[in-house]
Every structure is written in structure tokens, then in C-alpha cells.
Amino acid sequence: MDPNTIEELRGRLRHLEDESAITRLIMSYGPAADAGLTSFAGHLWLENGAYDWDANGTPHQGSAGVDAMLQSDGHQNLIAAGIGHFAGPLLIDLDGDSATAVNYSLIMRCEGDRFYLWRVSAVRWYLARVNSRWKVRIRTNRLLDETGAGRELFGDTLTELFVEAAT
Amino acid sequence: MDPNTIEELRGRLRHLEDESAITRLIMSYGPAADAGLTSFAGHLWLENGAYDWDANGTPHQGSAGVDAMLQSDGHQNLIAAGIGHFAGPLLIDLDGDSATAVNYSLIMRCEGDRFYLWRVSAVRWYLARVNSRWKVRIRTNRLLDETGAGRELFGDTLTELFVEAAT
Amino acid sequence: MDPNTIEELRGRLRHLEDESAITRLIMSYGPAADAGLTSFAGHLWLENGAYDWDANGTPHQGSAGVDAMLQSDGHQNLIAAGIGHFAGPLLIDLDGDSATAVNYSLIMRCEGDRFYLWRVSAVRWYLARVNSRWKVRIRTNRLLDETGAGRELFGDTLTELFVEAAT
């Protein structure tokens, strides 16, 4: 059997498996944040990773910082009142043991007998494979509001990934 | 050629194909429910499956029960007024011929010249492969409201799938 | 090594890779439209493709037409005020060098300190592989409102893809 053929097939499989593993990583965050599984959610990040959650906020530092934010009264009050930290489908760009993903984050809050869209953000995920497991290195959220912060994040990321790559 | 290598590659492919088939199954429900394709939507379930749609409701029993619910005046009035039964991206955990998936369900209703979020639910899908086809065994929806029902469903499911598995 | 086995494995891989490439194509549109990357967004379409965006509108013709729409004052004002062109997860049906996909489009607009759902549409994508790259041939959006246009689009497409195929 031709070892090159086997290597080709294994490489293509690994690429698809990486996309699946990254999807699994990112789609775990919202349900864990909503449920208050703070340590589990924090450990989706690298110890020295970051969650840069808003243009006007201080990034949460590493898995411990994300865990602490989720344990805070602010977050606990939100989940007690009813909230969904929804993540949209991913646009993934793999590069060996690193990857970039782009999606939308919608935070929906309960209000009487309906829900409302509180925050709608552009999100960029920088991911890394460490000890065979994908982890979040830096998650950056920017609101898609009149400040243009979300537009800029989407624009910069797509330009880096696709527009420049194609030229 | 080494039959072990072929079996390894086939097994990894099957895993990814199962995720794709499950995505296809679940992403069929919303458009079918919105369009009133009641029999098609019902047959996404096993004959003896269940749709446990709310903490305060009686589960719909099997494909016939889901079909009947979608034929009811209640559902038909909703779709006549304008509605979207939106399903978010899946977190899938495969285990041979069984699988568990977690996602968000958003029900959006038309109101004048805009739409509103009527129900935002945590969803757990228990799935089974029967005669080579994936089907829904039990779908459970719980609102992400102040009752905490949705948080509990997400928490229990993630704990079972991931937190306990990792310890 | 048995060439049939290799061809079987390559074919199955290609199928999954096509689904991944189509996801990447479609999930690029929203972020590009929000960011104002008009030429990049336009070139997701075939030169002679179409974007049939509403039952009461005139379709945008080809990549140039999509680019021009995104450059228009109407679109530029929307993105300046804060907007998200969100695309939901895909239901994909592959057929060689053609494919059909179905999903939901949600357009969310910023209003004070929250966002609202402006348009919720059923979407059908006709896709084609040209020179080894997937492109949009025709995207059709129909509102899920009381006119029934969205229901009809979902119903016709699912019937064509699944219900008729199963009989």
C-alpha cells in the first residue's frame, strides 16, 4: 500500500476532525455559561488565554478569569433571571495547530412572556491545539452597534483570512 | 494493504458522516414545521419516540403525536400568522448507534413590520440509528427563563457528557 | 492496494469536504455584508448568478449586482446604524457539482441599548462548483410572515429534496 495515499487520506480526515472538534469546543461555551458550569466553561480557555468581551471592558485573563466572571454576582443574576448565550455557526480557518473562527454571539434575555436581543456581537476566536486538545487562546467580542466596533472586527478578520490570502 | 488501516479510516469517516446525518435530521425539523409538512416532520421521530416540549406540557408521543400537534389548529394558526422555528448549531456526542445533541431553539413570531423572540429554549436530543437511519428518540425543550428549567437541562446534559467523562 | 477502496474513501471524504466548503462560503456572507466588504461578498456569487432577496423586490443580478447593492446608500446607512446579517445552520443536499442548501436568515438591528429582529426569512441556496470552487448560483429569501412566502419556499424545497426523493 502506498504510504503517500494513506498520509493524504489521514491528513484530509484530520482537517475535518479538527473542524468538528473546534465546533464542539465553541458550542460548549453558551450552554455551560447559561447553566453556571463555571469551571468547565473556564477550562475551554488556555490558562494564559483571554476573553476580550467588549471594546469598553477589561479582558478576562485565562481560564481562571473566565471562571471568576461566570461566578460573579453580575453573571449569576443574569442567569437567574433567564438568559441564553447563543453562538451562531462558525466560519473556520485552520492552520496546523492554530485556527481562527468567526461567528455571531446573540445574548437573549427573558422579559415577561417573551425574550429580547440584548447584545449582538461579532466574534473572533483564536484557537490553539495544546496536548492534542483545542482550546481558546483569545476570544474577542465587539458589538454590531453604531460605534462600528463589530464591523471593524469582522472586516479586519475576513481581510486577513480571505481577501489578502486570495491576492 | 493493511486491513486495520482501512478499518481505522472507515471508522473515522463514519463518525464524521454520522455528525453530518444528525445535523441534516435536526435541521430539517424547523423548515418542515414552518411549512406545515406535518407527516415529514413527524417521521423525523421514532414511532415510539417523544417530544417533551415544555416543563408544563404533556409530551407528544411518537411520530404520530408530533404529526398531530403540527396539524392542530394551534400550530396552524401560528404558521398562518408568520413564525420561524429556528434551531441553533449542534453540540453532538456520538456513542455508536446512539447520540446526544444539545442546542438552542428560538421561536420567532411576526408582529407588524418586525419579529419578536417568543420562546428561547435549551434543547437536548436523544438520537438513535435504526435501519441505518438516524431518528429522534426523545427531544426535550426547556425555557431559558426565570424558572431555571433550561439551565437545569443544559447543566445536567453537559455534566453527563463532559464533566463526568473527564473525571 | 485495492483502487476501489481508495476511490470509495476519497469519494466519501470529498462529500464531507464539499459540505465544509459550502458552509464556509455561506457563513462568509453575513460578516462581509456587515463589514462592508462589498466586492468580496459579491464574488461569493457567480458572475451570472442572482440574489432574489424578497417576493416584492427585483433580484440583484450576479456578483456585480450584489456588490452594487452593498455599496448603495441604503445598505451603508444600515451598517452605520448597527446591524447583523445572521445566517443559521445549513441543511445541505449535495448532487455532484451542484448543491441546494436551506437555512434561516435573521437581520438584527441596533435600537438604543438592545437589538430587534427586523427580517426573519426562509432561504434557499442553489450552489455550483466552478473551477473547483463553490459559488452561489441563486439565493432566494422569503419572509416568514403572514403572506406565507417563506412557508412556501421551505415547503417547495423540502418537498423537492426529501419528500419526493423518499417516494
- For residue B21, give the C-alpha cell: 446525518
- Closest partner residue to C144 among B1, B34, B89, by Cβ? B34
- Residues with Cβ within 8 Å of residue A19, at least 6 apart in sequence: A92, A94, C20
Chains that touch B (3 or more CB pairs under 8 A): A, C
Question: pLDDT tens for residues B82-106?
Answer: 999 999 999 999 999 999 999 999 9
Nearest 5°: the CA angle A93, C82, A106 is 55
Q: What is the mean pLDDT of residues B104-129?
A: 98
- Closest partner residue to A117 among C30, C81, C108, by Cβ? C108
Chain C residue closest in CA terms to A16: C17
- Closest partner residue to B16 among A20, A36, A40, by Cβ? A20
Buried b (16+ CB within 10 A) or exposed e, C71-98: eeeebeebbeebbbbbbbbbbbbbeeee
pLDDT at C162: 81
- Closest partner residue to A84 among B120, B152, B155, by Cβ? B120
Which chain C residues touch B81 with a CB distance below 8 Å? 146
The answer to whether residue A167 scores a pLDDT higher than 60 is no
* Selection from B100, B102, B118 nearest residue B110 by Cα: B118
Lowest mean pLDDT among A4-8, A43-47, A134-138, B30-34: A4-8
The answer to whether residue A74 scores a pLDDT higher than 80 is yes
Question: pLDDT tens for residues C13-22?
Answer: 999 999 999 9
Whether residue B21 lies within 8 A of chain A, CB to CB, comes out as no
In this prediction, residue B167 has a pLDDT band, given cuts at 50, 70 and 90, of low
Whether A2 contacts A51, CB under 8 Å: no
Which chain C residues touch B108 with a CB distance below 8 Å? 106, 117, 120, 144
In this prediction, residue C163 has a pLDDT band, given cuts at 50, 70 and 90, of low
Cβ of B16 within 8 Å of Cβ of C16? The answer is yes
Which chain A residues touch B13 with a CB distance below 8 Å? 13
Question: pLDDT tens for residues C19-72?
Answer: 999 999 999 999 999 999 999 999 999 999 999 999 999 999 999 999 999 999
Q: What is the mean pLDDT of residues C129-158?
A: 98
Question: pLDDT tens for residues B49-94?
Answer: 999 999 999 999 999 999 999 999 999 999 999 999 999 999 999 9
Instruction: For residues B91 and B72, give the distance between their C-alpha atoms in angstroms, rounded to a whole number.
Output: 31
Q: ipTM score here? A: 0.96
- In B4-66, beta strands by DSSP E: 45-52, 60-61
Instruction: For residues B135 and B5, give the distance between their C-alpha atoms in angstroms, rounded to a whole number.
Output: 30
Cβ of A89 within 8 Å of Cβ of C84? The answer is no
The answer to whether residue C167 scores a pLDDT higher than 60 is no
The answer to whether residue B165 scores a pLDDT higher than 80 is no
In this prediction, residue A166 has a pLDDT band, given cuts at 50, 70 and 90, of low
DSSP-derived letter for residue A104 is E
Interface test with A, best of B17, B117, B160 (most A CBs within 10 A): B117
Q: What is the mean pLDDT of residues B116-139?
A: 98
> In whole numbers, what is the pLDDT of chain A averaged over residues?
96
